[in-house]
Amino acid sequence: MTAAIVGWAHTPFGKHSEETVESLIVRVARDAIADAGLEPKDIDEIVLGHFNAGFSAQDFTASLVLQADPALRFKRATRVENACATGSAAVHQGVRAIRSGDARRVLVVGVEQMTTTPGPEIGRNLLKASYLPEDGDTPAGFAGVFGKIAQGYFQKYGDKSDALAKIAAKNHRNGVNNPYAQMRKDLGFDFCRAESEKNPYVAGPLKRTDCSLVSDGAAALVLTDISSALSHDKAVAFRSQAHVQDFLPMSKRDILRFEGCGEAWRKALDRAGITLDDLSFVETHDCFTIAELIEYEAMGLAPEGEGERAILEGWTEMDGKLPVNPSGGLKAKGHPIGATGVSMHVLTSMQLTGNAGGIQVKGAELGGVFNMGGAAVANYVSILQPIR
């Protein structure tokens, strides 16, 4: 263990037309530093996760973090991007800076503002996270990509509409008690399962309730080395991390297996010296319900083709053997691309310090985070545990 999270901040996710990328960044940067009990002058390095891809007219955004306080001027600041895993890419880069000895305290911020972009442009922007020579003309954009994945999965293993609706219902039920969630409404299984005017098919077998929400928001955290973390009121250490990058074209891999996800989980669990059974909960990347279903299999919770057992038999419910997405996941919380991975680490830290309120998993001791960019292309896993 070389780094720990000692402070954090999180805006509610949703539609924030009164905000800008800059104001969201400044808000969480200030709050996270204060939450860590530090001053801006104490920060050695800044890492910003911001996907953009056309969502913001203002690019070159790393230095916007300096707007939070004049004392941040002349600090190292870098923007990183890895599609929907941009937030975790920023977190992992911050940990590497500490591991190298080049920094003791790192501020990591994730941000995105998507809702001010017209709908057709949102679809085009998101589709840039796929391989355009193969997927550039996919109807319904990135939802269409995952619609094809769901269709292929159904063709191979049978209709899993019940399982997808159960996943959506679970995550929306969990999100009711998350004050940061964009949609705090228990939609119920019946609504998620049935096609309706309010829940139409979007792509292939995926309905609106199978798709994560377009969102604005930001999250931030402060990392320190372990020796410094011990002097803080709260500290959540990285027991292990893994980052696995796979081919971008889906034609070069078996897209129904999420092999990069599986490899990242195997590496992270091995480095931590634990098994999946040792985890208290997991926050996983449910950009679409089919993604969460396949991730059950990739992480080793269920055999290939049998992921539905995990949800239909209640394993991943709040009171199950491995609660998955107690926060409500991207499905209920929202998915402001650059902020998502940072949010996952923040909410996991809240769980492990007993500060998660209505979404608290009882007796949480070890948490797993899986954040994915593209269709299982960028795969990040973190195993976190409290040390204070």
By annotation, the residues acting in catalysis are 84, 335
3-state DSSP assignment of residue 228: helix
Strands 216-225 and 105-113: antiparallel
Q: Which among 49, 155, 30 has a CA at the least distance from the CA of 92?
A: 49
Q: What angle do CA 258, 260, 261 make, to 5 degrees?
A: 65
Structure tokens at 247: 């081919």
Please, are residues 226 and 4 in contact by the beta-carbon 8 Å criterion? yes
Which residue(s) pair with 193 in the sheet? none
H or E stretch covering 243:
strand 236-245
Contacts of 244 (CB under 8 A, 6+ apart): 260, 261, 263, 264, 267, 379
Distance (Å, rounded) from C-alpha 33 to C-alpha 38?
Answer: 6
Cα 100 to chain center, whole Å? 25
Cα 322 to chain center, whole Å? 18
Please, are residues 376 and 292 in contact by the beta-carbon 8 Å criterion? no
Classify each residue of 57-73 as buried b or exposed e, where b means 16 or more C-beta atoms within 10 Å of its C-beta: eeeebbebbbebbeebe
CA distances from 358 to 31, 127, 193, 284, 289 (A): 22, 35, 26, 19, 23
Please, are residues 111 and 49 in contact by the beta-carbon 8 Å criterion? yes
